[in-house]
Amino acid sequence: MKTFNGTAFAKLNLYLGIHGLREDGYHELETVFQAIDLCDLVSVSVHHRGGISLRCNRPYLPVDNRNLAYKAAEAFFRAAGVENPGLHINIKKVIPVGAGMAGGSTDAACVLRLLNRAFGLPLSDKKLAETALALGADVPFCLWGGTALAGGVGEKLKPLGPMPDCFLVVGKPSFSVSTKAAFALYDEKPRQTCPSSEAVTAALERGDLKALGAGMFNALEEPVAGQHPAIAQAVRQLEKNGALGARMTGSGSAVFGIFDSEEAANKAAQGLRRLCRETFVTRPLARRCPGKWEE
């Protein structure tokens, strides 16, 4: 039996704008993804007994082909033209579930990376990204992480300058929000216009943490927080405790705030835990493999 271990890092959305509907019915998105050092631990073991099995420390998550990591393994074997010799996937989840932090997507991306390594790199980076996209719009970003501007449904990636080193306080309320439900709430009363992502991308280019915090935006936050007031309460709590900027990430329910010192972040996290039992102090991460999105 050969086992390969990896880390699956969470993401935050520093900006999320919605620019109407596409012909295929999906929303046209523009978003700035940021990888953070909060991660799940993933391992794949090739055991030559046939079939795919999956184990996870969260008993309420599916461990069959409803799990995106399981689907990633199936997709890898199809794309690589490799017959599945028998595979066990183990996931130790730390990233909150249903939080808008790409927990399922990053596990799937990690499985793809690990299997590609385990079988001698049969998939090129381009083919790996294509396989990832078929699993979900966030999965290609999760392959390499870092900081990126994404368009389309989130799959068109352009690398950005790295986020300045800082401390990020992330908290998830006791409830989850599905992506489908978040967009349904938005569609009930869509915004006519969204502020440009330029404030965020320019701040990243200059390495200006204060301007970055001021420029952050999420078009889904207002409608989702209208349905779930605890989200707005958590954002206000972070701001009250000195965050340079605070927003909901993705479709929620997690929120995050930017801090320029560890002391301030730890103090804010202590206050946020009264509202969000799952609260973490994290830091931004650079890309795993520089240059992956230039092609």
Q: Classify the phi-psi angles of 62: left when phi > 0, otherwise alpha if psi is within -120 to 50, otherwise beta.
A: beta
Contact between residue 69 and residue 112 where contact means Cβ atoms under 8 Å apart:
no
My answer on whether omega of the bond before 197 falls inside 30° of 0, hence cis, is no
In eight-state DSSP terms, residue 93 is -
Using a 10 angstrom Cβ sphere, with 0-12 exposed, 13-18 middle and 19 or more buried, the burial of residue 11 is: buried
Using a 10 angstrom Cβ sphere, with 0-12 exposed, 13-18 middle and 19 or more buried, the burial of residue 49 is: exposed
- Give which of 6, 76, 71, 66 is closest to 40, Cα–Cα: 6
Which helix (H) or strand (E) is 265 found in, with range?
helix 262-272
Please identify which residue in the block is written with the tokens 């073991």.
Answer: 45
Query: Rounded to whole angstroms, how far apart are CA atoms 160 and 131?
Result: 23
Burial profile 59-92: b = 16 or more Cβ within 10 angstroms, e = fewer: eebebeeebbbbbbbebbbebbeeeeeebbbbbe
Contact between residue 42 and residue 110 where contact means Cβ atoms under 8 Å apart:
yes
- Give which of 7, 6, 32 is closest to 17, Cα–Cα: 32
The residues assigned a catalytic role are 11, 138
